[in-house]
Structure 1
Amino acid sequence: MSSDPAPAIAVSTVIFGLRAIERSEHVVLSLPLVKRVREPYLGRWALPGGPLAATESLREAARRNLRATTGLDPKHLEQLYTFGAVERSPVDRVVSIVYWALVRTDEADRARIGENVRWFAADALPQLAFDHDEIVGWALKRLRNKVEYTRIAHALLADEFTLADLREVHEAILGRRLDPANFRRRIEATGTVEATGRHLEGGRHRPPALYRSTAQKELLL
């Protein structure tokens, strides 16, 4: 029998939200990172996470670690992948079960930001600890794939939104501009949104119509 110690099990989460660029109303897809306060990779940014306790489920561990590190408790939380390459940690053998989450802007604003927790644009990340750059790449690929055929973008919006809001979310996720007229036709054809009969007030021009998701239960379907 092998005398090698059993691998440690950790749970980490990639959290996506929309954040405004400094001195601009334009928003970009962003994620919070946590600065490591010990070796290995002391001072380098990493995904929020931590060890799995013996008495909790994987999802419970993900939520506990998120609350402890960022103060966030996202409604949308989905398992991404398991990362277990032998050399992914320079000290001990660590297997990470990774989740990815989406938070609305009002939720993201409640994140515990400080010296050791900060939001970064998803396309402008520093070099991360361990294999977390690879993990973020997997999460981005999953999100961009799902936004094409599900209503997952709605998880980043308030309960009521304009079609321009929804298009802005798609553009932030996909990283490219979308034609407004074509986007409107495509979204209306899917039947995933319905008009509320209300309009967004406060603008100088004709107020845009407000919509809501036609199914509030499960945004992934």
Structure 2
Amino acid sequence: MTGTRKQSAGEHPPFAVTVDLAVFTIRAGALCVMLVERGQDPFAGSWALPGGFIEPDEDAAAAAERELMEETGMEVVRYHLEQLRTYTTPDRDPRMRVVSVAHLAFAPDLPDPEAGSDARGARWWQVEEILSDPDAPQLAFDHREILTDAVERVRSKLEYTTLASQFLAEPFTLAELRGVYGAVWGVAPDRANFIRKVLSTEGFVVPDGGTGQASRTGGPRPALYRRGEATALHPALLRPRGTGPEVPGPQ
């Protein structure tokens, strides 16, 4: 029986590893994603997720944090950052074999981004516009696929975790928290059931002691809350099925 010869590292063609970032925030009640206009080929003039190559002395998480700051000009004190998945299609980048370790990030009240040195511009786009409007810009590389996967990850996270509060600056009202679900899911959960679920989940939110602005109808001033220590929801707060805008898959 003939054994299989093991290949040495030098026999494999070189390839690069990058990070791509799907950065979300909520603006005017809509879920928005940060995109940069590429200033260099390939895809010069096209919109893309921010990102870049991983340096030899850093891991993927450190590269994601660095790119988040460098390419967008943001200095965010508190944000959620997690690895999404790895994209390895051989021809995803026309320059060479490039593997991307994609991440998603979100934080409240993010400012207008500043384009990095290799980008023509940077701005927030409504997710629904990018993924559902046929007249919206086509994203470079496989970034539409990455964005679609990231949106689904965030939607799922809101069902099983308390991360919705990470989209809000503290303190916040329960109406503002419910608005996060409406922005991410495309439809807000039932108000009474939502309030019951949030207040019955120990550590989801904790009272701030203050009150927000009174409503236009002159009702009582709403109570203010802060994030609690809980991280998971048991049972889950499931999103309504068959409602809200559908996110189409990659084209």
Q: Structure 1 length normalisation: TM-score?
A: 0.88
The secondary structure found in structure 2 opposite 1:148 is: helix
Deviation at 1:91, TM superposition (A): 2.4
The secondary structure found in structure 2 opposite 1:15 is: strand
For residue 93 of structure 1, what is the aligned residue in structure 2? Answer: 97
| Distance in 2 of aligned mates of 1:203 and 1:182 | 21
Deviation at 1:99, TM superposition (A): 0.9
Contact 1:50 1:65 in 2 (8 A): yes
For residue 153 of structure 1, what is the aligned residue in structure 2? Answer: 164
Deviation at 1:4, TM superposition (A): 5.8
For residue 124 of structure 1, what is the aligned residue in structure 2? Answer: 129
Contact 2:205 2:226 in 1 (8 A): yes
| Distance in 1 of aligned mates of 2:102 and 2:64 | 8
For residue 24 of structure 1, what is the aligned residue in structure 2? Answer: none
| Distance in 1 of aligned mates of 2:58 and 2:42 | 26
Contact 2:112 2:123 in 1 (8 A): no
Amino acid at match of 2:161: T
Deviation at 1:7, TM superposition (A): 1.1
Partner deviation per Cα, 1:12-37 (whole Å, 9 max, x = no partner): 111010012xxxxxx10001101111
| Distance in 2 of aligned mates of 1:193 and 1:209 | 11
| Distance in 1 of aligned mates of 2:104 and 2:30 | 17
* Residue of 145, 148, 154 corresponding to 1:134: 145
Q: Structure 2 length normalisation: TM-score?
A: 0.78
| Distance in 2 of aligned mates of 1:72 and 1:52 | 19
The secondary structure found in structure 2 opposite 1:116 is: strand
Contact 1:36 1:43 in 2 (8 A): yes
Partner deviation per Cα, 1:27-79 (whole Å, 9 max, x = no partner): 10001101111111111100100011001121221111121211124521111
* Residue of 202, 223, 227 corresponding to 1:213: 227
The secondary structure found in structure 2 opposite 1:160 is: coil
| Distance in 1 of aligned mates of 2:74 and 2:149 | 21
Say yes or no: does 1:200 pair with 2:222: no
| Distance in 2 of aligned mates of 1:53 and 1:63 | 12
The secondary structure found in structure 1 opposite 2:26 is: strand
For residue 23 of structure 1, what is the aligned residue in structure 2? Answer: none
| Distance in 1 of aligned mates of 2:121 and 2:146 | 20
Contact 2:112 2:124 in 1 (8 A): no
Partner deviation per Cα, 1:139-168 (whole Å, 9 max, x = no partner): 111111110110111111112110000000
Across the aligned residues of Structure 1 and Structure 2, the Cα RMSD in angstroms comes to 2.1
Partner deviation per Cα, 1:105-160 (whole Å, 9 max, x = no partner): 1xx12532695101001111131000000001111111111101101111111121
Contact 1:154 1:219 in 2 (8 A): no
The secondary structure found in structure 1 opposite 2:113 is: coil
The secondary structure found in structure 1 opposite 2:124 is: strand
The secondary structure found in structure 2 opposite 1:124 is: helix
Q: Percent identity?
A: 39
| Distance in 2 of aligned mates of 1:60 and 1:220 | 26
Give unpaired runs (5+ residues) of structure 2.
1-6, 131-136, 234-251
| Distance in 2 of aligned mates of 1:110 and 1:130 | 24
